[in-house]
Structure 1
Amino acid sequence: MVLQSGIFCILADALIRSEIYSDYVQAHLAPSGYLKFPNDIPHYLEKCRFLPKLNNEIPQERNTTYKERFSSLQNLVLIMFENDNVLIPKETAWFGYYPDGAFEPIVPAHQTVLYTEDWIGLKALDDAGRVHFVNVSGGHLGISRSDMKKHVVPFLVDEASIQKHSNARVHGHPRTITQHYHRKQVAGSFIDETSNERILDGSSSYQWPSSVKNFFRELVGIAEENDSD
């Protein structure tokens, strides 16, 4: 099985490299829609089925609604993994990339045409202070629990202190799930609870926590209290 999988990957890789923007490859190999070769921009814009549209790169087909919705995000957290070998270059995670026609040097996000002409609303978001560029150690998606709590959790809560109550019944007994938090308080509350344990490692062998619901409840600090009424 390993040998067969290896041969298939080699053949698929050769096919992608030789005819990446052909109708056949674009229709049958999903990753081909995400690949942008800087030395073949005309074919990329004409034939690549996904990424040019996602990046609003096609001049006559730019989606203003998409740009408006993207720029209306409250926060955009862009996480670059230091040892990422899936996104090439790794700066792609921050919207950096190669210049058209060459594989070097890497152009920082703020210097790309996508940013300066604001095709997707990234510049508008950044000017408003709502883009957060984060760099962490590890491979592709290999984020640790401590980094998740430090860089992601604070943006999962509202700007102001909020209190939410929802009634639920477990085995016939009502209970109240109460959330008390503020963005700054949440960030500070994890100082003594951080861990370098990898909660995602980007590999197919990764096992999700037994309860995703409980996992995220733990991350954002939701306390469950029995309803005394």
Structure 2
Amino acid sequence: MELLSNLQVKKMSELSNGYNIVGLSQGNLIGRGVIEFCDGGPPVKNFISLGGPHAGTASIPFCGSAVICILLDSLIKFGIYSDYLQEHLAPSGYLKIPTDMSDYLKGCRFLPELNNEINGMRNSTYKERLASLQNLVLIMFEDDTVLIPKETAWFGYFPDGAFEPVLPVQETKLYKEDWIGLKTLDEAGKVKFVNVSGNHLQISTSDMKKFMVPYLEDQTLAPTRQTPTEASSYQWISKVGHFFKDLIGLSEDQPLLHTVY
């Protein structure tokens, strides 16, 4: 599978020595696709995932819990693995109904390949590429109501054939049989399982600094003195962030990043 983003990445000479990826929600699957599917692309050093549906999600969040929303969700699930919805509805590519695994593996066009789930068609190259990461940071949101279950952010999921219990990642086949190299990474101490408070993508500035920034700093560069005119992009972005926080009255620990569905 070749993603359009892979072609773009290959053209960016500034990434030739390696780069980091920060993924938000379903964007994490595109990020992993770049790592696993990109043949001949520049190396990815660190992958930071915020609320990613890595093992799939059992529901599509639309408009809430009203009756019309429940009916809409049910109708979509009924034909979620049809060619039409797979082509026109992005979440259909990672909607995984645990009681409909046969249709999922046959009809879902993205996640089964990304997670190397199809028996007899597993690609060892995908495993090698993901296992080459220096660090994989998986951030789960404690009060996440968008991802079903929230543990999918850590690759945890329901067992095949049932909606309970939620299996921790270490008890899933994907991990135990090491389909994508996750077990290899974990045993090497390169997977960081992070749990933060808040709903989907509601992460505070202090948690960003604690769990994200250390993996985005270039450890290969010697410290250099910076003048105000030579401030890094990160410092500039940080100043802008503080400006908007002051402007709208947010405290240091209140989330700057907040997505509403």
The verdict on a shared fold, with TM-score over 0.5 as the criterion, is: yes
Distance of aligned partners of 1:164 and 1:16 in 2 relative to their CA distance in 1, 3 Å threshold:
farther
Which residue of structure 1 aligns with residue 254 of structure 2?
A: 197
- What secondary structure is seen at the aligned counterpart in 2 of 1:78? strand
1:139 touches 1:202 (CA, 8 Å); kept in 2?
no
Which residue of structure 1 aligns with residue 24 of structure 2?
A: none
Deviation, 1:198, is: 0.6
Deviation, 1:12, is: 4.8
Q: Which amino acid aligns with 2:115?
A: N
Task: State whether structure 2 residue 151 is matched by structure 1 residue 94.
Answer: no
User: Of 109, 115, 120, which residue of structure 2 is paired with 1:60?
Assistant: 120
Distance of aligned partners of 1:26 and 1:11 in 2 relative to their CA distance in 1, 3 Å threshold:
farther
User: Of 53, 75, 89, which residue of structure 2 is paired with 1:15?
Assistant: 75
**Alpha-carbon distance in structure 1 between the residues aligned to 2:140 and 2:197:** 8
User: Of 128, 132, 147, which residue of structure 1 is paired with 2:192?
Assistant: 132
Deviation, 1:178, is: 6.8
Q: Which amino acid aligns with 1:197?
A: Q
Which residue of structure 2 aligns with residue 108 of structure 1?
A: 168
Distance of aligned partners of 1:55 and 1:106 in 2 relative to their CA distance in 1, 3 Å threshold:
same
User: Of 123, 137, 140, which residue of structure 2 is paired with 1:80?
Assistant: 140
Q: Unpaired runs of 5+ in structure 2?
A: 1-62, 234-250
Q: Which has the larger radius of gyration?
A: 1
Deviation, 1:197, is: 2.0
Which residue of structure 2 aligns with residue 71 of structure 1?
A: 131
Which residue of structure 2 aligns with residue 156 of structure 1?
A: 216
**Alpha-carbon distance in structure 1 between the residues aligned to 2:177 and 2:74:** 35
Distance of aligned partners of 1:10 and 1:97 in 2 relative to their CA distance in 1, 3 Å threshold:
closer
- What secondary structure is seen at the aligned counterpart in 1 of 2:76? helix
Q: Which amino acid aligns with 1:163?
A: P
TM-score (norm 2): 0.62
- 1:166-215 CA distances to partner (integer Å, 9 max, x unpaired)? 99xxxxxxx54479xxxxxxxxxxxxxx92121211226xxxxxxxxxxx
**Alpha-carbon distance in structure 1 between the residues aligned to 2:232 and 2:201:** 31
Which residue of structure 2 aligns with residue 224 of structure 1?
A: none
**Alpha-carbon distance in structure 1 between the residues aligned to 2:98 and 2:155:** 14
Task: State whether structure 2 residue 91 is matched by structure 1 residue 31.
Answer: yes
> Greater shift after overlay, 8-17 or 23-32?
8-17
Deviation, 1:123, is: 0.5
1:79 touches 1:133 (CA, 8 Å); kept in 2?
yes
Identity of aligned residues (%): 61
- Aligned Cα RMSD in Å? 2.8
**Alpha-carbon distance in structure 2 between the residues aligned to 1:200 and 1:72:** 29
Q: Unpaired runs of 5+ in structure 1?
A: 168-174, 180-193, 205-229
1:21 touches 1:43 (CA, 8 Å); kept in 2?
yes
TM-score (norm 1): 0.70
Distance of aligned partners of 1:52 and 1:136 in 2 relative to their CA distance in 1, 3 Å threshold:
same
Deviation, 1:118, is: 0.5
**Alpha-carbon distance in structure 2 between the residues aligned to 1:9 and 1:30:** 18
Distance of aligned partners of 1:108 and 1:60 in 2 relative to their CA distance in 1, 3 Å threshold:
same
**Alpha-carbon distance in structure 2 between the residues aligned to 1:10 and 1:146:** 36
Greater relative CO, 1 or 2 (CA 8 Å, sep 6+): 2
Which residue of structure 1 aligns with residue 104 of structure 2?
A: 44
